[in-house]
Amino acid sequence: MGAALWTIVDKEIRAIGKEKTIVLAIVIQLVIASLSSVILIGLMSFYDPSTIGQNSNIHLNIGIVGDSSSDLIKELRAAHMRTTFYTSPDSAQGDFAAGKLDAVIYVPPDSNGVTDMKLFLPQSDTKTTVILMVLKEPLKKYENYLRSLNGVGVKYTDLAGSSSTTYEFLYSFIVPMLMLFPAFIAGSIVIDTLSEEFENKTIETLLSAPVTLNDMIGGKLTAASFIAIVQCILWPALLLFNHIYIQNLILVLIMAGLISIFVSAGSALIALYFKDRERSQFVYSIVIITVASLSYLIEPSPIGLITRLATGAPDVGVMNVALYVIPVAIMLALIFLNTKRLAAMKA
Amino acid sequence: MKNVLIIALREAKRFKSRFRGGSRVLILTILAISLLISYFVAQSGLTLSKGVYTIGASPYGPTIDDSRFNVIIMDNMTGYGQLGDGSIDAYVDVNTVISRSDQRSKYAVGALKQYLEKSELSRITEEYDIDRAYPLRVETHYLNVSPAGAIPVGGSLSDLIGPTVEPVTSTPQPSQQASVNPTPTSIVAPAPTKTSDGTDAAVREQVDQAMNGTQPRFKAQFVSENETIIPSLMNPPMPLSQIILAFLYIVPIFFISVFFTSSFMDEKTNRRLNILMSAPVSALDIIAGKMLPYFSFALVVIVTVTLVLNGNLPLSLAIFIPVVLFIFAIYLMVALFYRTYKDQTFFSMAAITFITGYLVFPALFADVNSLSYISPLTLAVQMYRGESFSILEYVFSTLPMYFVFLIGMYVGVRIFNEEYLMGYGPLYRKSGDAIYLSINRRHVYMSVFLLSVFLIPIVFMVELIILALATNIQQMFVMIVVLLFFCAMVEEIAKSSGIVMLLENGDVSSYRKVLVLSFISALGFWLGEKALLALSLSIMPGSALLNAMSGTADTTASPIILLVLLLLPLAAHFVFTSTVCVSTKKLGARWYFAAVMAGTLIHTLYNVYSMHSMGAF
């Protein structure tokens, strides 16, 4: 191991650079990240009422029929809705049909007991969904008011926090995905280059040169992990540009690097045994899904650790990352002590 | 047909030979273990955000049982102290939650709010009777808004798709509505009642769903006709669980299609494909024959998954067969396009991303917007919700799948020759050659026209991806200009690629012919574009999108102006395309990129100008 290894590293990186398909891989990651945030925004606007109620500039015009002094009207106004009181349902109907109102609510007088309210909405699926979402918060507040009239006390109703959906999604999906996808690609690259050598029978020529099998595999692993780590460094820079900050950046990157090395070494094991791309890639995809879901049983899981480090959680630190050096070391020992045996096996 | 079967049999044998002896046992074991583990992990409830927040909780406060929170029980003095020095993100006291003013603490409180709201509901459900715990019931009714409403139908869209209903004067016509519309059209104020037995059943049902975490009863809409809403239990049915069911179909199909592409690669490497190609069989025979075994595997998967899930078999087959064909067509392209092993890996990843995005993204909005029918998974979601869909919606979502399959097969057959498959050129070269080979040189005009039409769906999808990428740019104006620029570029490449390939191969020599072809290409693109618009409008009448698009409508436009507005884009497309093609002819194919840039620049300026005149910015 020495000069030969670095020659191989250099050769592999050049090959990947020449093919330019790595650009495609980076674009894929960008697309996944962007698409999932677009999906999240879309989902939130339809399914998470609190965000759309607070952040959007939707100003609804609500017609009220019935009790003009109801507390609901106060709540609706507090949520920036325009309310108009109608003494007769007919005039409300007229304005509703003319499109001056988005919805009409019939409010019975406040009472202890059950209040049966009626809500009249237009027949348009998307618009109705939005109106209902915006109405939800004021209705809930009014419901709590009615509960208090009934002598039912509800606690924790006035918590002020920010909606955590985007925050959780960003740090527990997008950031780990951007940190793990390069590792996944690294594994695939190792399988491709290794099985290519086996299938094209170039491995014999390579080994007749003063290169050992360990040199070759070490070189391929180093090259693949190097490319993965470069990508991992790229993403935080891009996120920074979008005002998303990753805490404990160095630890997050070390963790991502450890995962890439682990995955590349594992994929080298698979490729050495099967020696063809078709089966290796298949087994690799299945094993990686399994290992990823298994890793959730560990506390903190590798993915969970990245999330917590990136959010700056107070309960994780260097020690948690250091522990993950052990499985990586075991994996590397496993492969470098057994390369010859694995390569000789017939599968 | 016989040839197809022979090749299919040969392919099945090749596939089998891959998995024999020790490796078969090993692979099957790995597969079984992974299925088992996935099952257990799924059962134990996988939360992505496990332990994101560290919070302190008062021993007298509520128990917090949510894996997002790492809970430490402490009295409130310790709690305040730890909150101050940042060891915890929030402190839950008996009646309130205490936080710091930083973002992290605020998000923790937001998450706690979500959780505590639910736990409070279950507390009051247990402690009080249902009339006291849920005193507010909102009965919803849907009323028809007359076309004279605040959102007039027509306008610039009617400019494009022809004259529509003239807006009538805004007089409500309740009597007429009553006769056409079964929903109540007059608002009747009912006498208030103290207790309501009528709505209690609905409340019980919704409380049950909310507390036991069972899936809500799925409805045809967010709320159906005259449903009773309880504000604190109001949650739209998110189709996540059905999407996961749909994944049970899609994931195995992905694996099968990977084997399908590997088969081409394997035979390319060991040169068996050359032998096959020199045999007296057609390219279609080879492709269909190689596809057949994997298609049968996919069918087995669909049938098995449906039977396991206890679904409707004929309906599942009707929904997923087009999906399988669509996926296979895309993977066929992967198999024929790649040059090296790594290529194939990255192309497959791109294909997976694209297919999953196209299928899953719209299905997440099932029942919210009719445009979600663009993906057949929406149909699957509805099927597993026990809802029905119309034949029109079925055709709308599956027709593009068959369409892509047919195009894929056509292109596959045209490019299926030794020189192309074994060639190692840069990607743009390979794509260009594929386009050139797809053009029927005996019917050049027709080919260029059809090429423009058929490229529209691809252009449309690429533009969607550009849109998703552009959302990363924070500044609105910059984002729009970047978006317009890259979309114009994609369109210009699509319209000119066929003509340029003909130019390069010397099939077209006169400027006159280049201009005629540019016009035909522009015409095809323009027709396809308008047809797509008309189709998407017909499937979602009265939706918000249509309203938004016709927002700045000038409904008093005369027919001549309408005609001009309709034909102007055609003229514009012609100008852009001929700019690209004529300058390519003049400068040579090596300067194609510069020519595209010139066309794109004019196109972008035109778009920015027309958006400006429409008042977009």
- A-chain CB neighbours of B369 within 8 Å are 125-126
Q: Do B193 and A146 touch (CB under 8 A)?
A: no
CA distance A142 to B504: 72
pLDDT at position A332? 94
Of B136, B223, B364, the CB nearest to A142: B136
Q: Give A-chain residues touching B469 at CB under 8 angstroms.
A: 30-31, 34
pLDDT over 90 percentage in chain A: 22
Residue A135 pLDDT > 90 = no
Alpha-carbon gap, residue B49 to B617, rounded angstroms? 40
pLDDT category of residue A46 using cuts at 50, 70 and 90: low
d(CA B257, CA B255): 5
Give the mean model confidence (pLDDT) for residues B376-381. Answer: 89
- Min distance B293 CA to chain A CA atoms (Å): 16
Query: CB distance B86–A119 less than 8 Å?
Result: no
Say yes or no to pLDDT of B448 above 90: yes
In sequence order, which residues have a C-beta less than 8 Å from that of residue A58 and are 6 or more positions away? A52, A130, A134
Cα torsion at A263, A265, A267, A269 (round to 10°)? Answer: -150
CA distance A209 to chain B (A): 24
The pLDDT, as a whole number, for residue B428 is 84
Q: Do B192 and A46 touch (CB under 8 A)?
A: no
- Supply the mean pLDDT for chain B: 79
Residue A161 pLDDT greater than 80, yes or no:
no
- DSSP per-residue codes, A295-345: GGGSSS-HHHHHHHHHHT-TT--HHHHHHTHHHHHHHHHHHHHHHHHHHH-
d(CA A133, CA A51): 10
Chain A from 296 to 325: CB within 8 A of any B CB: 296-297, 299-301, 303-304, 307-308, 311-315
- Taking the CA atoms of B547, B553, B558 and B564 in sequence, report the sign of the dihedral they define: negative
- Please list every residue in chain B whose beta carbon sits closer than 8 Å to the beta carbon of residue A15: 342
Please give the pLDDT value at position B223.
43
Inspect the interface and report whether the beta carbons of A143 and B136 lie closer than 8 Å: yes
- To test the contact with chain A by mutation, choose from B83, B345, B361, B424 the residue with the greatest count of A C-beta atoms within 10 A, namely B345
Rg of chain A in Å (alpha carbons): 30
pLDDT at residue B182 tops 60:
no
Decide: helix, strand or coil at residue A116: strand
- Decide if B108 contacts A85 (C-beta within 8 A): no
Which amino acid, residue B297? F
pLDDT at B222 over 90: no
Q: Does A71 touch chain B (CB under 8 A)?
A: no
Name the residue with higher pLDDT: B296 or B31: B296
Write out B573-605 in H/E/C secondary structure: HHHHHHHHHHHHHHHCHHHHHHHHHHHHHHHHH
Q: How confident is the model at residue B538 (pLDDT cuts 50, 70, 90)?
A: low
Cβ distance of B108 and A119 shorter than 8 Å: no
In chain A, which residues have their Cβ closer than 8 Å to the Cβ of B143?
93, 96-97, 120-123
**Beta strands A103-107; A115-122: pairing state:** antiparallel
Please give the Cα distance from B128 to B122 (Å, whole number). 10
Q: How many CB pairs under 8 A join A and B?
A: 397
Q: What is the pLDDT of residues B559-600, one digit of tens each?
A: 677 677 778 889 999 999 999 999 998 888 888 999 999 999
Chain B residues in contact with A115 (beta carbon < 8 A): 135-137, 192
Confidence of residue A124 (pLDDT cuts 50, 70, 90): low
Give the minimum alpha-carbon distance from B512 to chain A in angstroms, rounded to a whole number. Answer: 38
Assess: ipTM above 0.85: no
User: What's the token pair of residue A41?
Assistant: 């925004």
CA of B241 vs chain A CAs: smallest distance (Å): 15
Average pLDDT over residues B296-306: 94
Residues 124-183 of A with CB under 8 A from B: 124-130, 132, 136, 139-140, 142-144, 146-147, 149-152, 154-157, 159-164, 167-168, 171-173
Average pLDDT over residues A276-283: 88
What is the mean predicted confidence (pLDDT) over A286-292? 89
**Residue B327 pLDDT level (bands cut at 50, 70, 90):** very high
Question: Residue B234, exposed/middle/buried by CB under 10 A (0-12, 13-18, 19+)?
Answer: buried
pLDDT given for residue B45 in this prediction? 63
Residue intervals of chain A classified under CATH 3.40.190 are 49-149
User: Mutate which of B55, B87, B145 to disrupt the A interface (most A C-beta within 10 Å)?
Assistant: B145
pLDDT at B194: 44
Rounded to whole angstroms, the Cα distance separating B23 from B30 reads 10
Which of B117, B181, B346 is the mutation pick for testing A, counting most A CBs within 10 A? B346
Please list every residue in chain B whose beta carbon sits closer than 8 Å to the beta carbon of residue A244: none
Shortest alpha-carbon distance between residue A331 and chain B (Å): 18
Rounded to two decimals, the pTM is 0.79
Inform me whether the pLDDT recorded for B231 exceeds 70. yes
Edge to edge, the sheet with strand B69-73 lists: B69-73, B53-57, B90-92, B97-99
Say whether pLDDT at B162 is over 60.
no
- Mean pLDDT of the B17-37 span: 82
- Written as six digits, the tokens of A117 are 């309210």
- Burial label, A110 (beta-carbon count in 10 A; 0-12, 13-18, 19+): middle
**Of A224-233, B4-13, B157-166, where does mean pLDDT reach its minimum?**
B157-166
* Side chain identity at residue B394, one-letter code: Y
Residue of A nearest to B85 (CA): A314
Instruction: Measure the CA–CA gap between B593 and B590, rounded to whole angstroms.
Output: 8
- In angstroms, the separation between the Cα of residue A322 and the nearest Cα of chain B is 19
**Which residues of chain A lie closer than 8 angstroms to B188, CB-CB?**
89
B519 compared with A344, residue with greater pLDDT: B519
Confidence label for A98 from pLDDT (cuts 50, 70 and 90): confident
- Highest mean predicted confidence (pLDDT) among B243-247, B256-260, B262-266: B256-260
- Which residues lie closer than 8 Å to B583 by C-beta, 6 or more apart? B591, B594, B595, B598
CATH number for A49-149: choose from 1.10.3470, 3.40.190, 1.10.10, 1.20.140: 3.40.190
B262 → chain A, closest CA residue: A278
Of B148, B370, B474, the CB nearest to A98: B148
CB contact under 8 A, A65 and B41: no
- Residue B211: pLDDT band (50, 70, 90) is low
Cα separation, B404 vs B326, in Å, equals 6
CA–CA separation, B483 vs B600, rounded Å?
Answer: 12
pLDDT greater than 60 at residue A49: no
Q: What gap in Å lies between CA A68 and CA A52, rounded to an integer?
A: 27
Encode pLDDT of A239-273 as tens digits: 887 778 899 999 999 999 999 999 999 999 999 99
DSSP secondary structure string, B52-80?
A: -EEEEE-TTS-----TTEEEEE--HHHHH
Of A94-108, A255-269, B258-272, B360-374, the range with the lowest mean pLDDT is B360-374
pLDDT band at B178 (very low <50, low <70, confident <90, very high): very low
Mean pLDDT of B388-410: 88
Residue for token pair 């195009």: B407
Give B90-146 pLDDT, tens digit per residue: 999 888 888 888 888 888 998 898 888 888 888 888 888 888 888 888 888 777 655
Taking an 8 Å cut-off on Cβ atoms, the answer to whether A290 and B145 are in contact is no
Q: Is A66 helix (H, G, I), strand (E, B) or coil?
A: strand
Provide mean pLDDT across the span A188-215: 84
Q: What is the pLDDT of residue A191?
A: 93
Whether A98 and chain B come into contact, CB under 8 Å, resolves to: yes
Which residues of chain B neighbour A247 with C-beta distances below 8 Å? none
| pLDDT one-digit tens code per residue, B547-558 | 444 443 444 456
Q: Is the pLDDT of residue A61 over 80?
A: yes
Q: What's the pLDDT score for residue B553?
A: 41
**Residue B552 DSSP one-character state:** T
Return the higher-pLDDT residue of A129 and B503.
Answer: B503
Question: Count of CB atoms within 10 A of residue B430's CB?
Answer: 18
Which chain A residues touch B33 with a CB distance below 8 Å?
290
Query: Which one of A94, A140, A301 has the shortest CB-CB distance to B232?
Result: A140
More reliable by pLDDT, B550 or B538: B538
Q: How is residue B7 written in tokens?
A: 């090749």
Q: Return d(Cα B319, Cα B383) in angstroms, integer.
A: 10
More confident residue, A183 or B235: A183
Helices of type H across chain A: 3-19, 21-47, 49-55, 71-78, 89-97, 125-149, 165-169, 175-199, 202-208, 213-241, 249-274, 277-294, 302-311, 318-323, 325-344
Q: For residue B228, list its beta bridge partners.
A: B139
Q: What is the mean pLDDT of residues A81-97?
A: 83
Which chain A positions have a beta carbon within 8 Å of B117's beta carbon? 156-157
Residue of A40, A60, A96, A124 for testing the chain B interface, max B β-carbons within 10 Å: A124
- The strand pair at B53-57 and A115-122 is best described as unpaired
Q: What is the pLDDT of residue B499?
A: 93
Over 80: is that where the pLDDT of B369 sits?
A: no
pLDDT at residue B450, rounded to an integer: 92
Question: Residue B156: pLDDT band by 50, 70, 90 thresholds?
Answer: very low
- What tokens were used for A327? 């499985």
Q: Is the pLDDT of residue B218 over 60?
A: no
Long-range contacts of B460-469 (CB under 8 A, 24+ apart): B460/B532, B461/B354, B461/B358, B462/B490, B463/B487, B463/B490, B465/A31, B465/A35, B466/B490, B467/A38, B468/A31, B468/A34, B468/A35, B468/A38, B469/A30, B469/A31, B469/A34
In three state form, how does the secondary structure of B91-138 look? EECCCCEEECCCHHHHHHHHHHHHHHHHHHHHHHHHHCCHHHHCCEEE
Written as six digits, the tokens of A160 are: 């002020």
| Chain B nearest CA to A283, separation (Å) | 7
pLDDT of residue B155: 31
Alpha-carbon gap: A8 to the closest alpha carbon of chain B (Å):
17
User: Which residue in A has a C-alpha nearest to residue B475's C-alpha?
Assistant: A242
Give the residue, A49 or A175, on which the prediction is more confident: A175
8-state DSSP, B442: G
Show me where the domains of chain B are located.
Answer: 53-127, 130-139+201-206+218-235, 237-438, 451-541+556-617
pLDDT score of A78 = 83
Residue of B nearest to A47 (CA): B236
Would an 8 Å CB–CB cutoff place A113 in contact with chain B? yes
Asked if B231's CB is within 8 angstroms of A162's CB, the reply is: no
Which of B37, B111, B341 lies at the smallest CB-CB distance from A164? B111
Rg (alpha carbons) of chain B, rounded to whole number? 30
Closest CA to A62 of A32, A92, A18: A92
Would you call A290 and B258 a contact, using CB atoms and an 8 Å cutoff? no
| Residue from B407, B256, B408, B410 nearest B320 by CA | B256
Q: Report the first-to-last Cα separation within chain A, whole angstroms.
A: 28
Nearest Cα neighbor of B381 from B357, B394, B360, B363 is B363
**A172–B48 C-beta distance less than 8 A:** yes
Q: Which residues of B touch A129 (CB under 8 A)?
A: 222, 236, 368
Which two structure tokens, joined as six digits, stand for A322? Answer: 């250091």
Question: Mean pLDDT in chain A?
Answer: 84
| Cβ separation B234–A132 shorter than 8 A | yes
